[in-house]
Amino acid sequence: MQEALASLCERVRAAGADGTRLRIRGGDTKAFLAGDPGAGTQAFDMRPYAGIVGYAPSELVITARAGTPLEELAQTLAARGQCLPFDPPRFADADGRLAGTVGGMVAAGLAGPARAALGGVRDYVLGVLLLDGRGTLLRFGGEVMKNVAGYDVSRLLAGSWGALGAVCEVSLKVLPTPPATRTLRFAMGQADALGQLRAWSAQPLPLNASVWWRDTLAVRLRGAQAAVSSAARRLGGEAIPDALAEAFWDGLRDLRDEFFIEARQATALGGRALWRLALPPTTPPLAGLDDTLIEWAGGQRWVLVDAGDERPATLAAAAGGHARCVLGPSARPTALDPALLAIHRRLREAYDPHGVFVPGRPLAI
């Protein structure tokens, strides 16, 4: 593996010398979010640098190389009764296989249904080995929580979309797999669902995930068996069989649920656009945005609108949040405040002064 790492370093140095631009690629499952890298850009494949570097179950820490498939990491953890609790999306490649990698997970910074309850990717990153735009390997953080002195660069890389370099290795905090899980379904409108979720979130309930779509609210309870059973009796609703519930949450996690299938079909035809909105959970229903799927107790909302309709951005800003079109003709980077954009650019100049790496579309720097 040292030869593979040395080869990656040498290629970056050569790209800096001859002006070649590189787009970092792992399982190539997030291309629909990353966008077109532009003509002349070459793929920088991290898959050869794969494998588990170290695993200490008793310390709840695992270290893996960037090209390691998330499925392999999950299987390793499951064998010891542990997991990545934030449900990292794995996504599918062109052949329909779940091919997401550890490096892509960190670079994209995406989390699944449990994000609101248990945090996101950056909350579990302990340390990274980064290959910067000069072809230099830089190590940040370590394998314990209290290891940060100065800037917390390791967590800064979560969601950086390759703008600062290629994540080569990452140490992650893991957690024991909860012993009990139960999914409940309720028939209710959007306003009632948001109000109910606010009330439940203020109570000591093992509420792990939630989703509302088309007048149906589903919640996932996770934790100790006694806590889950007690909460299920208290909340009521219709209990969903475990196998069906697991498939449902996996589909939501990997954007393969019915809503996202319909959204991809609609946006592929060019007449519709899919937006992702990040909002304060207390935000009421947004007027006029009828085709909406709501996660994270109201904090994340997916909206399907006609192409060219900018209301999601306007309404999100008015509510104190932000929005980005992720699929469709209007898909583009998130607009940043000028002061924040200046910080982004200074960071990029520090880690990739030659502009070797082409960042994914979510960043416009």
- Here the CATH number for the domain that contains residue 88 is 3.30.465.10
Q: For residues 165 and 201, state if they share a domain.
A: no
pLDDT of 146 reads 55
Q: For residues 158 and 245, state if they share a domain.
A: no
CB count within 10 Å of CB 176 equals 13
Q: For residues 157 and 298, state if they share a domain.
A: no
Pair of tokens at residue 235:
């909340």
Domain residues for the domain of 204 are 180-253
CATH number reported for the structural domain that contains residue 231 in this entry = 3.30.70
Rg (the chain; Cα; Å): 21
Q: For residues 269 and 243, state if they share a domain.
A: no
Q: Which of 195, 222, 253 is the last residue of a domain?
A: 253
Evaluate whether residue 358 is within a structural domain. Answer: no
Q: What is the pLDDT along the chain (365 residues), one digit of tens a residue?
A: 788 999 999 999 999 999 999 999 998 888 888 887 778 899 999 999 999 999 999 999 999 999 999 999 999 999 999 999 999 999 887 677 888 999 999 999 999 999 999 999 999 999 999 999 999 999 998 765 555 555 688 899 999 999 999 999 999 999 999 999 999 999 999 999 999 999 999 999 999 999 999 999 999 999 999 999 999 999 999 999 999 999 999 999 999 999 999 999 999 888 999 999 999 999 999 999 999 999 999 999 999 999 999 999 999 999 999 999 999 887 777 777 889 889 889 999 999 999 999 988 777 66
Look at the chain and report how many structural domains it folds into. 3
User: What is the DSSP secondary structure assignment for residue 97, as one 8-state letter?
Assistant: -
Rounded distance between C-alpha atoms, residue 236 and residue 184, angstroms:
8
Rounded distance between C-alpha atoms, residue 331 and residue 57, angstroms:
41
Q: For residues 110 and 14, state if they share a domain.
A: yes
pLDDT of 231 reads 98
Rounded distance between C-alpha atoms, residue 216 and residue 151, angstroms:
43
Residues 6+ apart with CB under 8 A from 121: 86, 88, 105, 106, 109, 110, 111, 158, 159
Rounded distance between C-alpha atoms, residue 332 and residue 343, angstroms:
20
Q: For residues 262 and 249, state if they share a domain.
A: no
pLDDT of 148 reads 53
